[in-house]
């Protein structure tokens, strides 16, 4: 595929990084309590194994998180969150120095340290700056791409904030406002994330998935993260451990809806899904 004026691109490491082919982002959680047990890699050797496996399977980038955002997760002090991320970043930069790494944090101070001290490439803020008002200015000063996700409230309160006039229209509108705020602070490279599972019911999640192409109006690359989430396993009456098949099915739906990045626990299956999608649209 070639880059056209309609192809989403970001400036990454001083070069244009295009999404003419959808990308796969592998999830690496340096936490003891992420909702999917298979993603937990608190120890350095476990991080190394997971990182190397994901890259060998074709991951285009990695998303490193040190603070679980599952409902009811305990608060993590800022110093502890940074210490977890630093341990993970040390491993990644040692075993895969060229890997593109996104830092999953809503704290501006943590994000800045990870970028300046470890060369993190992208900031992934689940609150789009709502939980730390310094984030937009920090990202603008650092001049790194950001992922802005739609959420209301905090991980502890978000599931009490699911009243929408229209889940799709309201999510796009609220996310557009956050994007505008970051652009005003000089952030040029923004990836939008609808925030599946965050301040949304199962029904609302599927309404947004059906209307995913409407997010094109934001004029940003689109990230979709639905891997093994409750919107898959609850309707099927299974657990997160059993939700791979549903994840694959919904990832294909996301690609058909215009997703440029799939954020996943299972890289091999996502890479194969992208390949099949590309064959369908060759």
Question: Any idea which residues carry the catalytic annotation?
Answer: 229, 263
In which residue are the tokens 């790194």 written?
Answer: 144
Handedness of CA 255, 256, 259, 263 (dihedral sign): negative
User: Which region, left, alpha or beta, applies to residue 71 given φ > 0 means left and ψ of -120 to 50 means alpha?
Assistant: beta
Q: Rounded to the nearest 5°, which phi and psi values hold at 17? A: -115, 115
Where b means 16+ CB within 10 Å and e means fewer, 190-200 reads bbbbbbbbbbb
Q: Residues with Cβ < 8 Å from 245, sequence gap 6 or more?
A: none
Secondary structure class of 276 (helix, strand, coil): helix
Six token digits for residue 256? 């058909």
């Amino acid at each position: 595929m070639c880059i056209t004026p309609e192809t989403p691109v970001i400036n990454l490491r001083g070069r244009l990084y295009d999404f003419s082919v959808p990308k796969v982002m592998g999830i690496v959680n340096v936490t003891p309590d992420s909702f999917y047990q298979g993603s937990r890699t608190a120890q350095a050797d476990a991080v190394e194994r997971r990182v190397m496996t994901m890259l060998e399977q074709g991951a285009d980038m990695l998303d490193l998180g040190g603070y679980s955002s599952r409902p009811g997760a305990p608060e993590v002090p800022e110093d502890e969150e940074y210490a977890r991320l630093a341990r993970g970043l040390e491993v990644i930069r040692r075993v895969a120095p060229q890997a593109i790494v996104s830092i999953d944090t809503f704290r501006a101070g943590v994000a800045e340290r990870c970028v300046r001290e470890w060369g993190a490439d992208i900031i992934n803020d689940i609150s789009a700056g709502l939980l730390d008002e310094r984030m937009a200015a920090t990202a603008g000063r650092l001049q790194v791409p950001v992922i802005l996700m739609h959420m209301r409230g905090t991980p502890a309160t978000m599931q009490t904030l699911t009243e929408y006039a229209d889940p799709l229209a309201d999510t796009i509108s609220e996310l557009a406002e956050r994007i505008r705020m970051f652009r005003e602070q000089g952030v040029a490279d923004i990836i939008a994330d609808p925030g599946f599972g965050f301040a949304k019911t199962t029904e609302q999640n599927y309404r947004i998935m059906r209307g995913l192409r409407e997010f094109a109006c934001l004029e940003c690359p689109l990230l979709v993260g639905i891997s093994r989430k409750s919107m898959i396993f609850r309707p099927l009456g299974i657990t997160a451990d059993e939700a791979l098949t549903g994840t694959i099915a919904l990832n294909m739906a996301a690609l058909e809806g215009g997703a440029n990045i799939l954020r996943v626990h299972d890289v091999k299956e996502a890479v194969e899904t992208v390949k099949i999608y590309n064959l369908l649209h060759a």
